Amino acid sequence: MSLIIQKFGGTSVADADRMKEVADHVKRTKAHGHSVVLVVSAMGKETDHLLRLASEVSQTRPAREMDMLITAGERKAIALMCMALHDMGVPADSFTGSQAGFLTDTNHQNAKILTIDPQRVQEAVDAGRVAVVAGSQGVSTDNNVTFLGRGGSDTTAVALAHALNADACELYTDVPGVFTTDPRVCEQAKKMPSISFDELLEMTAVGCPKPAMRSVEVARSYGVKLHVRSAFTWEPGTWVTKEENSMEKPIISAVVPDTSQSKVTVSGVPDNPGVAAAIFRPLADSDVNVDMIVQNTSDEGVTDISFTLPTEQMEIGKEIMMSVASEIGAGEVSTDDSVGRVSVIGAGMASNPGVAATIFETLSSESINIHMISTSAIRVSCVVNKADIEKATNKLHQAFELDKG
């Protein structure tokens, strides 16, 4: 008998009807002879609702109390899910993060898992019951309730799959799998039957919304077999595995558009050792998520440094840069939120130097100007005008024949 972890996101359990559908699916999984552990997020817009309540009540919102508040959402969901299962004759017990044995650090709002001791979950499974675990929560080393952050339910599921030595971890969501590109941007997008951890990591890093990057990192570290699939059509989705052995595998697997980032440029930066650290350390200290970094070749001892960050962090990023620039004797700081990024992902890219050339040619033939370029072994990202993102995505998807599946 195999053990399967099934994680359901907020839209998958948004109301009573959805809960019953999920319960029915769990019942069918059990009927196929599998043991099931469920991980459930807060219902629909519940977390947003709680955040709104908090801002009505308080300007300061201490992090410890925010975690006490937000984790109430998942508690409701696990209790209701157990009731729905019980009605279908499937015995089930709910467990909070604490009861499921998730010990975390004390970093409220964004806690990291230290250890998992899922004894009560294992006992429920051994007794033939479904354990329903609250996603994205735990208890800290100083005995306070902690929240793992938005999207943390994926991490809960993957970590639990590892701790329980599960056969697979199914991440159910409102999309049917991982696509060759964003189906909302490009009609030719194709669902991939499988993808490697490294490729999926690069995709989530550049803006592919699901699953949460952190959970993919954990799954990759521990070799947890992931299956990203739909809680609405229930069709098979995309398997994420360690190795991709198929000979038929195309070199390029996906094109990922992303319009959530902006660009900051510091010009006239003195080209001295330690300058990069002087710029990026204060950003890191303020939790600014810098992504792409490009430094131009030095010209007479001065250079320009550009980087991308989430648009909602652009103002704070600029503020920090202004003060750094005056400290290190750099020139102007400029920002640009009219840009976007398109990334091409593929495991075979490193050994195929022609890929980057094809990308640049494709964009050039469409008269799309490239502002920044950054590459890794399995990814090429280009920052272009936001207005060009849709065209760039479609043309690159076509150029690499991803629409031919």
Omega within 30 of 0 (cis) for the link into 211 = yes
Rounded to a whole number of angstroms, the minimum distance from the CB of residue 231 to a copy of itself is 16
Which structure tokens are listed for 5?
């972890």
96 binds a copy of itself (CB under 8 A): yes
* Tokens 């409701």 found at: 76
94 binds a copy of itself (CB under 8 A): yes
Cα distances (Å, whole numbers) of residue 338 to 11, 127, 177, 310: 31, 57, 30, 12
User: Under rule CB under 8 A, which residues in 110-139 are in contact with a copy of itself?
Assistant: 120
Among 80, 130, 175, 216, binds a copy of itself (CB under 8 A): 80
251 binds a copy of itself (CB under 8 A): no
Rounded to a whole number of angstroms, the minimum distance from the CB of residue 78 to a copy of itself is 7
214 three-state secondary structure: helix
Rounded to a whole number of angstroms, the minimum distance from the CB of residue 91 to a copy of itself is 9
103 binds a copy of itself (CB under 8 A): no
45 binds a copy of itself (CB under 8 A): no
Rounded to a whole number of angstroms, the minimum distance from the CB of residue 19 to a copy of itself is 5
Rounded to a whole number of angstroms, the minimum distance from the CB of residue 262 to a copy of itself is 30
Helical packing angle, 197-205 and 213-222, nearest 10°: 160
Binding pattern to a copy of itself, positions 57-76, x when CB under 8 A? xxxxxx-xxx-xx-xxx-xx
* Alpha-carbon gap, residue 239 to 246, rounded angstroms: 13
Rounded to a whole number of angstroms, the minimum distance from the CB of residue 127 to a copy of itself is 14
383 binds a copy of itself (CB under 8 A): no
Q: Which stretch binds a copy of itself (CB under 8 A): 86-94, 233-241, 310-318, 320-328?
A: 86-94
83 binds a copy of itself (CB under 8 A): yes
Q: Are strands 35-40 and 130-134 parallel, antiparallel or unpaired?
A: parallel
